[in-house]
Structure formats: C-alpha cells, structure tokens
C-alpha cells in the first residue's frame, strides 16, 4: 500500500475475535496490550517473547505458541500483526494473510500492510484515531493535538512549572498525574536519570514542534548545566507563558534538588506544582527482593547521599541504611559503618542501573564489598543497601566465603 494512497478509516470491534500477533518483542508487546484492552482473543507466535507477554500467557490472558510462524497459523484470524524484525518472516505472514483475505499490519513495512494502526486517544466512551501516512511519529503528534484541543484535557496552566518525579526508570511506574502533565507540556527539562523511555515518547511531538526538550543532564563530576542555570531555564520558559515540566528520576525531593528549583521559581513569581515520584531508595532495593523494613529484621531505615563517606548512622544491622550516589565513596562508607557497630560481616547489596537494561545485583558484606565492587567494575547509577534485610534477597551473593 503506497504511503500516499488514500485510506478508508474504520473502527474494528474485535472483542472475542481472534487476532494473531507474530513476533514477541517490544512492538509485538505493544500491539498485544492494545488488543487485550478491546477484548480480542490474542494468539502470539514467536520463539521468544518479552517478560510481559510471558506473564500474560501464564495468566491465560493470551495464547502463546513458542515457535516460528508456520503456514496455517492465520486460520480463523480476523486480523494479523507481524512484528518479528525479520523481513522474510514478516513478508511470509503478509503474503499468507493476503491470500486468505485477512487484514494485516506489517510493523516493519507500512506500504506492505493492508491495515495501519493509528495513534489512539480515549476519553470515556470517545475514541480518537490519527493516521500519519504510515509515519508513526506524525500520527502521534496529531493524536496529541486532538487530546489537547478536542478533549480539552490540558491539565496545566500556561506559564507554570510542574516538578515531576519520574520514578526509578520503568515508564509504567510514573503517576497518572505526571503522565498527563507530560502529554500537555510545551517544554520538558530533563536530566540523565529521567526515565529515558518517557523522554523518547515525546520525540514525535518535538519533531512536530509541539514540545521543546531541554537536556540538562549531569554525571558524576560533570555538570555541564549548573543548577543555577537549570533554575533560570525553568523561570525563563514559564515567564514566556509556556507549560513547563521539570522531569526528574525518582522523587524530586529525595536528593533531586527539587526544593531548590521550587524556591527559585517561587522567588520569581512562578507557580509550581509538585508531583511526587516513586523513590529509587525504596523501589530499586525492592526489585532485588530487599524490603527496607521487615518485621523481626528491620523496623527503621535511613536514606543518605554518598557524595561523601557515610558516617555516624545510628542503630545496628536492624536499621537499614540506603545510600544513593555512593559508589565513589563505597570503601570509606563500608569501613566506617562496619567499625561503628554493624560489623564487617553485615550484608550489603548494590543494585546497579535499577530498572534499566544493565541492571545487576551484587551482594557481599561490609568487609568485602569494596574489593568485590572494584573487581566487578561496579559503577553509577547504583543503590547501596546495608543491613540484615539484604539476606532476604534471592540473588546469588558473595556472603559466604568461597563464593568469590
């Protein structure tokens, strides 16, 4: 189907009807989500699938065939989606669907599809669908314009700043309020620890000139945009009458310098809304199987920054210590905490790149963690957890002698 061909838009009622999705990667998973939402009977064919699809199959919400596509797999289907990333396979699926007069979405080659998936917005019983001539970014930008103008769902007043916590990195762990503010923003100021996928989702709107993305990312010992300048950017853009979102990782008030940005805006007469986020200090240990408190093991916890060595933390091993940004001072902190009463055999966990593609969990003791971290090349961003709760994690550890 040529990109300049006029299409005939139609709404499909797929509840209870079979749709076959060939390919279990990111694109296939996105397709499955939408199909489940409308009640379709979803069949996935792929030798490998994402964790999300695997969970859906285990729960009986979809049917998964763990193999390559075969002729006959489309029998009884009303619609087919192919998103394998392998051109020959996608072409085979498309050709078989064409032969059996089954509408097909070819995620790799829009011009070979007999159906296109629009960018969709829902508002109660209303559904708006936008097509971009086979270009998803244009469709998304048009959809967002519809949401802002037709649905009149602009949650932020022009000339204000929304200080948003983006959570620990998983885009599904951002609040609904924050998601709405991002969708309507005209300027988004983000940094290195902002959830990357949330920023990437804004790219189509940025290409269309609907939003400006300003990267003020900082790395350890490298602050190309000083905090004073970040404050000035927020004030300047808000004073220009724009809806400004400051997107941070975790929670803006947990070592995120959100308080400084709030004060700067307030002093300039700019109204600020603060939207809390899930702090990595709690959520990142959780994905390693470590609760920061646990009955009978730990009844309190302390969260500290590790820019300097951590000293004089009260309590013993039953008082959990969570250190953020503490990789560079790990050796000094571990030595001090061991000497101050927790002991060199106190369990320690380091979770690198929590919720990210390079997530890794390392478990050792205060007496061994520094040398093990150096040997493994552990680096930021990382969350360090110290205390007996670490023993609850099921990850392989260096706690026992001989596991090194």
Q: Which residues are catalytic?
A: 191, 218
Both tokens assigned to 361 = 């969990």
- C-alpha to C-alpha distance for 70 and 109, rounded to whole angstroms: 20
**DSSP string for 304-330:** EE-SS------S-TTEEEEEES-STTH
Token pair 């596509």 is at which residue?
A: 69
Question: What 8-state DSSP symbol labels residue 66?
Answer: -
Burial of 5 (0-12, 13-18, 19+ CB in 10 A): exposed
- C-alpha to C-alpha distance for 284 and 381, rounded to whole angstroms: 11
Q: Give me the sign of the Cα torsion angle 336, 341, 347, 348.
A: negative
Both tokens assigned to 338 = 């061991």
Contact 276, 164 (CB under 8 A): no
Token pair 């695997």 is at which residue?
A: 54
Among residues 383, 336, 381, 333, which one has the least CA distance to residue 363?
383
* Integer CA distances (angstroms), 69 to 53, 79, 141, 269, in order: 17, 15, 34, 61
Both tokens assigned to 380 = 């930021």
- C-alpha to C-alpha distance for 282 and 301, rounded to whole angstroms: 10
DSSP H helical segments within 241-329, as ranges? 258-267, 280-287
* Integer CA distances (angstroms), 329 to 307, 311, 333, 397, in order: 7, 11, 6, 21
């Amino acid at each position: 189907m040529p990109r300049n061909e006029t299409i005939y838009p139609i709404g499909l009622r797929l509840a209870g009807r079979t749709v076959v999705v060939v390919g279990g990667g990111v694109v296939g998973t996105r397709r499955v989500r939408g199909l489940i939402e409308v009640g379709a009977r979803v069949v996935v064919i792929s030798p490998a699938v994402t964790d999300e699809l695997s969970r859906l199959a285990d729960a009986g919400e979809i049917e998964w065939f763990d193999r390559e596509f075969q002729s006959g797999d489309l029998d009884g289907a009303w619609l087919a989606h192919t998103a394998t990333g392998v051109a020959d396979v996608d072409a085979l699926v498309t050709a078989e669907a064409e032969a059996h007069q089954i509408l097909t979405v070819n995620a790799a080659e829009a011009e070979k599809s007999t159906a296109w998936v629009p960018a969709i917005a829902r508002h109660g019983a209303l559904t708006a669908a936008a097509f971009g001539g086979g270009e998803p970014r244009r469709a998304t930008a048009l959809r967002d314009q519809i949401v802002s103008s037709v649905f009149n769902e602009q949650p932020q007043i022009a000339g204000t700043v929304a200080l948003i916590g983006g959570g620990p990195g998983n885009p599904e762990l951002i609040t609904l309020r924050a998601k709405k503010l991002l969708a309507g923003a005209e300027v988004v100021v983000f940094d290195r620890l902002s959830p990357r996928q949330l920023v990437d989702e804004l790219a189509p709107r940025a290409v269309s000139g609907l939003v400006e993305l300003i990267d003020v990312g900082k790395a350890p010992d490298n602050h190309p945009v000083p905090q004073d300048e970040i404050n000035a950017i927020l004030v300047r853009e808000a004073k220009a009458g724009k809806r400004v979102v400051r997107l941070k990782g975790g929670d803006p008030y947990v070592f995120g310098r959100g308080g400084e940005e709030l004060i700067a805006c307030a002093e300039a007469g700019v109204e600020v809304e603060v939207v809390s986020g899930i702090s990595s200090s709690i959520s990142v240990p959780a994905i390693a199987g470590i609760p920061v408190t646990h009955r009978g093991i730990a009844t309190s916890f302390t969260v500290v920054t590790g820019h300097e060595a951590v000293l004089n933390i009260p309590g013993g091993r039953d008082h959990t210590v969570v250190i953020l940004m503490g990789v560079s001072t790990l050796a000094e902190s571990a030595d001090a905490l061991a000497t101050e009463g927790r002991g060199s055999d106190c369990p320690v966990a380091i979770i690198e790149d929590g919720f990210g593609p390079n997530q890794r969990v390392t478990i050792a003791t205060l007496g061994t963690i520094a040398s093990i971290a150096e040997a493994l090349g552990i680096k930021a961003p990382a969350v360090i957890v110290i205390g007996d709760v670490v023993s609850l994690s099921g990850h392989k550890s260096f706690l026992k002698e001989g596991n090194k």
